[in-house]
Structures are given as structure tokens and as C-alpha cells.
Amino acid sequence: MNRKLKTRNQKEAYLLILPIFIFFAIYSVYPLCFNIYYAFTDWSGISQSWNWVGLKNFRELTSDRVLKTIVKNTVVYFFMTIFPQALLGLFLAHIISGMKRGGKLVRALFYFPNIVPLSIICITFLKIFETHGGSLNQLLQMIGMGAYTQQWLAKPSLAFQCLIGINIWVYTGFSMFLYCVNMTNIPSELYEAATIDGAGGFQCFTHITVPLLKNTHMTLILLGMISCIKNFDLPYLVTKGGPAHKTEFFSTYMYYLSFDKFQQGKAAAVVCLMLLASFVLSVLQLKMYGVGLSEKER
């Protein structure tokens, strides 16, 4: 009787999750298989016919100068955004945690850019970085530094630095928020014991706070890696991957190949590379979290 009841409960459970499974299969599994298949074709994205070309799209990508620029941009973007965000967020969280009044207000102000739609932020910064009439160039002229006015988004190196600056400004508040939340989980007895032993504020910070926030550091780094791979909205809205593809990323290049060049097969191959990189990072993330949990249990 118990076995029959157990089997019945299992069938009911499978029926309950069936709609979610169907939804996942239609909107996730099918598009993924569809993309992988067309990565081996020369489909334009609009024609009703296509040819099987095998690994041709992937071979072209290996010699594609733009893809090499994308890999370089992704790596540089990661190191130049994630670590400054984490350091600034940790510094702000440390200051806010020591504030007796106004800490919540300051935390909300720094987190505010994460609430505002990124499209609005990008449009605002486009106005700031405009060559003629932009707020930044006008400010430089007002304070007598007109010689330093630049075509901020027209020069490749400056455009890339502008993207980095916007990213840090937007997401530092997110890092700060994570650190603030996890700082509350650190037992106050540790600080009290360290203070009794003669440790100062800086020593408590470096020997207690920073080590005990290791999982937060790891989370920010892994989220940053995945974010850099699928980075689209910020570079597309601000520079559209230009000038001369110097601020291109995987997602923006995929969009360019799909809707500007009508090379859907090659764009699908770019997506396959993104999927492979995301899969490797996901496995790395699971392993790192597994190590963290095992150390916690000890």
C-alpha cells in the first residue's frame, strides 16, 4: 500500500512540474539546439534556404581580428571593472557599517544606480561625453581646462575607458550592498576579542573582516566574469561597439553579424563560443562554492 501511495505521489509530482518542463524545453532547450545547428550553416537569418558548411564559421572566427579584439576587451574589462568595484564597495561598506546615523540613507544613495534603468543611465552619459555641448567638455572649459576637452566616444581608447568608468559608477553600489549584508553575519565577539588583545581598527579590518568575506569576494568575481561575457546593453547603447569595433564584446558582435551583416550562421557560432565560456565558468563556480561549503562544514 505504501509503495502504491509513493508511486502515486511521484506521478502527481511529475505532473505538477510538467508545465514548467514544457516551458523550459520550448523557450530554452529548443532555441539552444536551434542556435547550435545554424552555427554550422551559412544561413543569413532572412532567407528560406541555407547550406551546411561544417566548421567554416568557427574557422573564420579563429582568424577574425574583431574576435581577437573582443577577447582582449573582455579580459581587460573584467580586471578594470570588477576589482575596482569590489575594492570601492568594500571600502564604502566598511565606512557605512561604522556610521551611527545616516548609514541606511548613504547605502540607498550608492545603490540607487542599480535601480535606475540602464538605458536612462547610458543616455545621460551620452550627453555628458558629447564632443560639442557635452557636460564634461563644458565643465572643463568653465574651469579653465579647455585644452583637455576630448572626443570622448570617438577615440577608441577613450571610448573604452568611458565604458569602464560608467560600469564602475553603476555597479559599485551592488558590491557595497553585498558586503554590507555579509558584514552583519560576522560575529561582533571576534572584534571585541581582537580589541581586547590590542588590535586596532585597521588590523581588525584586514585580519577579520576581509578574510571572513571570502565568499563575497568570490561571488563578485564569478558574477563579474559571466557579466563580462554577456555584456551587451552598456557598450551597445553608448558606443554600439565602435569606433572601428574597438569597444566590441561578444553580444554586440553577435548583434552586428545578425542584423547588420545578415550572417546568422557566423553569429550563431559566436553564441556557441559564449555558451562554452559560460559553461566553463559555471563549472568553476560550482567547484569553488563546493570548496567553500566544505571548508565551512569543517
Per-residue pLDDT reduced to its tens digit, 105-134: 888 899 999 999 999 999 999 999 998 888
Residue with cell 530554452: 28
pLDDT of residue 9: 75
Tens digits of residue pLDDT in 13-44: 888 888 998 998 898 889 889 999 999 999 99
pLDDT of residue 297: 46
Q: What is the mean pLDDT of residues 234-261?
A: 92
Residue 151, domain member (yes or no): yes
Number of independent structural domains in the chain: 1
Residue 75, domain member (yes or no): yes
User: Domain holding 151: CATH number?
Assistant: 1.10.3720.10
Tens digits of residue pLDDT in 195-236: 888 888 788 888 888 888 988 888 888 888 888 888 999 999
Tens digits of residue pLDDT in 140-192: 999 988 888 999 999 988 999 999 999 999 999 999 999 998 988 888 888 88
Domain residues for 240?
66-297
Question: How far is 162 from 11, CA to CA, in rounded Å?
Answer: 56
Residue 21, domain member (yes or no): no
Residue 48, domain member (yes or no): no
**At CB < 8 A and 24+ separation, what contacts does 70-77 make?**
70/248, 70/249, 70/250, 70/253, 73/160, 73/246, 73/247, 73/248, 73/249, 74/228, 74/229, 74/231, 74/249, 74/250, 76/160, 77/160, 77/163, 77/164, 77/167, 77/228, 77/231, 77/249
Of residues 114 and 1, the one with the higher pLDDT is 114
Residue 1, domain member (yes or no): no
Residue 86, domain member (yes or no): yes
Residue 144, domain member (yes or no): yes
Residue 44, domain member (yes or no): no
